[in-house]
Structure 1
């Protein structure tokens, strides 16, 4: 931990402030001041460090400034009550500090709250009996110790800057959410700055739901390229105000190398299963570390794709071919979510109009009559060119119609969820049996393989150029 004790810090503050307050216009003094501030006002809470905070500590001389956070908390009834509230909400037990081992302070969790501050802080018979019935925190889980240690330091600690590494470690997802919320609220109330390294969407959602402004920096390292992208608090707030984005778990996408967004849950389940089989039996075509989520329909896919790409996440869209019917704003939204340049959009709008018109003239149901394969040669070539250009920007249109056009050889019937259940039955479950469907050339296997090519390409199109390489 990078922090001095309370007496040392107080003395140094007095001396340095006296010397520097009139000299901060000098660059060298500013640099010295920053180094001093970071050394004595910053605390690193890694996994081991935060559990150590709950270990027994010296009570010290109560007539002198406290020498540690537990001693400071023991003297402050208001802050101790706040820690007790947070811990009780998390574990259903009451945080108390036991001073009955004279000269030492120990953290315990009690099934009942102390009747008053004297019962907790005293050393008389009633206090001894009360603490003897409470559980030693050393006997509880690592999660309980880590959670309590973070809260203890956040509420009672002196450092104004805390760096927390993987706060979700040892915690159940619901506790990660609660910790994120409490950290945000408490830090804001005490004007502390918190820097957190996390892989938990639950923790992030807790921070967001607290209402406290937070910034997210997403770091990636792929194919020897390191990047960093900032999602400022105002943009994050816009995302979380959208019920669709909240319900689809878009925040989970922060922790994946790629996200695939489909029209419906049936689409999501099918394409995810196809990808799983590719990863197992034809891994060069499968998409690794990928999250599949679904919108409500093709008209709302763009609402999920765009914000993910703004974070630098390669989010691909899979839609049925009847997206070509969608002119006007829906088509513009679709192209815009793929960050297709405006100049290129003009030509794609014109091509879409002509192809859609041809389907109507020939009285072809583009979803159920074979998609672009049912068009005459010239129009088919134009449609293939359109879909190829869309694929370059991570917008994937089912060429032969809709979800149910895949794996026709299995002869599954029905539509939507009914078709999904039947196709899964026909695909089989046991790879050792003959009826188990494994990846082949063509069909949906190559379709997912083409998405893999886009998501894994460093030079892929469709990601806004705001990513900054880490220095």
Structure 2
């Protein structure tokens, strides 16, 4: 409390134009560090004081962002030492911080914790982060590698990947992205992320167009006789006179067309037509990996262990409890490649 109140009273006293603080979170528990960060931002606004803080606390940083709202210009400067004689500085501008604040999912994620790590891997969902973290730890153990000090963080889907990457890139945090193959289903979204990460879409546009045109021809419309027989199977598997929600959902799904990209996500790259489409896919994947965008040729996370059923959480529980991540050569090769890419950017 003495450390906490000493900081607060210094700002509250007023009349100070510029305040320097060195690790004000020292001696504080994480919730207190976060609260102190909020108060520093709020009191900076109230007293018109510029505050410069050196910190190693992600909780303090999160508190500052929360307390700043959209009224306080907050900038984050990341300092690293590539060698004994060199300091490297990179800055996240106030506009980028405000953009993160406006997006609740990013604001309450651990995205900016990445400034304290050697590198960050952005994923679509929390389950992806958990699985890849376990897989990487296993690879580092079996390969005799040192800890890579990577943070796996998710952004709740594909829509925020470009924004999240931009914020980390501004702070010069080496960053990679792992995405399901259906990222390619939306040309605009894929192009935005690819170019945000330093790629030139013009270089891959021809290959992408060949691939996309081929995959879209794989669309499957519901066939009357197939739907009729499968509905009968669903109805006959239970003696319950009431159709439950699970049965109803399955029957409604039978009436939906399945896009080509959904099939590729469910079956993997093996479902892509041979010849030019397969060559185009390989070209796109290679170009993406060159900038740190790792698109899953298997389709999606669950395809690493296709024999495991259930929803994603049930699948993840099985993969972790039975240590299945130790048996998938594809997932291990993936995290090795991601680790090597991030290391090359440090």
- TM-score, normalised to structure 2's length? 0.77
The equivalent residue for 1:251 is 112
- Tell me which of 261, 267, 275 is aligned to 1:369: 267
Q: Do the aligned partners of 1:407 and 1:443 also contact (CA within 8 Å) in 2? A: no
Is 1:348 the counterpart of 2:204? The answer is: yes
The equivalent residue for 2:150 is 290
The equivalent residue for 2:170 is 310
Aligned residues: 300
Q: Do the aligned partners of 1:287 and 1:452 also contact (CA within 8 Å) in 2? A: no
Q: Following the alignment from structure 1 to structure 2, what is the Cα–Cα distance between the partners of residues 300 and 193? A: 31
Is 1:178 the counterpart of 2:35? The answer is: yes
Is 1:416 the counterpart of 2:312? The answer is: yes
Q: Following the alignment from structure 2 to structure 1, what is the Cα–Cα distance between the partners of residues 79 and 272? A: 45
The correspondence of residues 397-408 of structure 1 with structure 2, limited to 5 A, is 397-407=295-305
The equivalent residue for 2:255 is none
Is 1:396 the counterpart of 2:294? The answer is: yes
Q: CA deviation at 1:181?
A: 2.5
SS at match of 1:396: strand
Q: CA deviation at 1:424?
A: 1.9
Q: Which has the higher helix share?
A: 2
Q: Following the alignment from structure 2 to structure 1, what is the Cα–Cα distance between the partners of residues 81 and 270? A: 39
Over the aligned positions, Cα root-mean-square deviation in angstroms equals 2.7
Which segments of 5 or more consecutive residues in structure 2 lack a partner in the other structure?
Answer: 220-259
Is 1:198 the counterpart of 2:59? The answer is: no
Q: Do the aligned partners of 2:78 and 2:91 also contact (CA within 8 Å) in 1? A: yes
Q: Do the aligned partners of 1:372 and 1:384 also contact (CA within 8 Å) in 2? A: no
SS at match of 1:357: helix
The equivalent residue for 2:278 is 380
Is 1:277 the counterpart of 2:175? The answer is: no
Q: Following the alignment from structure 2 to structure 1, what is the Cα–Cα distance between the partners of residues 206 and 12? A: 61
CA spacing shift, 1:388–1:293, aligned 2, 3 Å:
same
The correspondence of residues 84-233 of structure 1 with structure 2, limited to 5 A, is 144-156=1-13, 160-211=17-68, 212-222=72-82, 226-233=87-94
Q: Following the alignment from structure 1 to structure 2, what is the Cα–Cα distance between the partners of residues 304 and 383? A: 26
Q: Following the alignment from structure 1 to structure 2, what is the Cα–Cα distance between the partners of residues 398 and 255? A: 27
Q: CA deviation at 1:378?
A: 4.2
Q: Following the alignment from structure 2 to structure 1, what is the Cα–Cα distance between the partners of residues 323 and 132? A: 13
CA spacing shift, 1:150–1:273, aligned 2, 3 Å:
same
CA spacing shift, 1:186–1:403, aligned 2, 3 Å:
closer
Q: CA deviation at 1:392?
A: 1.0
CA spacing shift, 1:379–1:258, aligned 2, 3 Å:
same
Q: CA deviation at 1:265?
A: 2.2
CA spacing shift, 1:287–1:310, aligned 2, 3 Å:
farther
Which segments of 5 or more consecutive residues in structure 1 lack a partner in the other structure?
Answer: 1-143, 429-436, 460-471
CA spacing shift, 1:384–1:407, aligned 2, 3 Å:
same
SS at match of 1:298: coil
Q: Which has the higher contact order (CA 8 A, sep 6+)?
A: 2
The correspondence of residues 319-334 of structure 1 with structure 2, limited to 5 A, is 319-327=179-187, 329-334=188-193
Q: CA deviation at 1:196?
A: 1.0
Is 1:237 the counterpart of 2:98? The answer is: yes
Q: Following the alignment from structure 1 to structure 2, what is the Cα–Cα distance between the partners of residues 297 and 273? A: 20
Cα displacement string for residues 103-125 of structure 1 (whole angstroms, at most 9, x for unaligned residues): xxxxxxxxxxxxxxxxxxxxxxx
Q: CA deviation at 1:157?
A: 8.2
Q: CA deviation at 1:444?
A: 0.7
Cα displacement string for residues 290-326 of structure 1 (whole angstroms, at most 9, x for unaligned residues): 1112122223322322222222122211111122222
Is 1:266 the counterpart of 2:164? The answer is: no
Q: CA deviation at 1:335?
A: 1.5
CA spacing shift, 1:157–1:390, aligned 2, 3 Å:
same
Q: Following the alignment from structure 2 to structure 1, what is the Cα–Cα distance between the partners of residues 178 and 211? A: 19
CA spacing shift, 1:166–1:438, aligned 2, 3 Å:
same
Q: CA deviation at 1:390?
A: 0.3
- TM-score, normalised to structure 1's length? 0.58
Deviates more, 1:267-276 or 1:220-229: 220-229
Q: Following the alignment from structure 1 to structure 2, what is the Cα–Cα distance between the partners of residues 339 and 274? A: 27
Q: Do the aligned partners of 2:124 and 2:178 also contact (CA within 8 Å) in 1? A: yes
Q: Do the aligned partners of 2:182 and 2:299 also contact (CA within 8 Å) in 1? A: yes
CA spacing shift, 1:373–1:158, aligned 2, 3 Å:
same
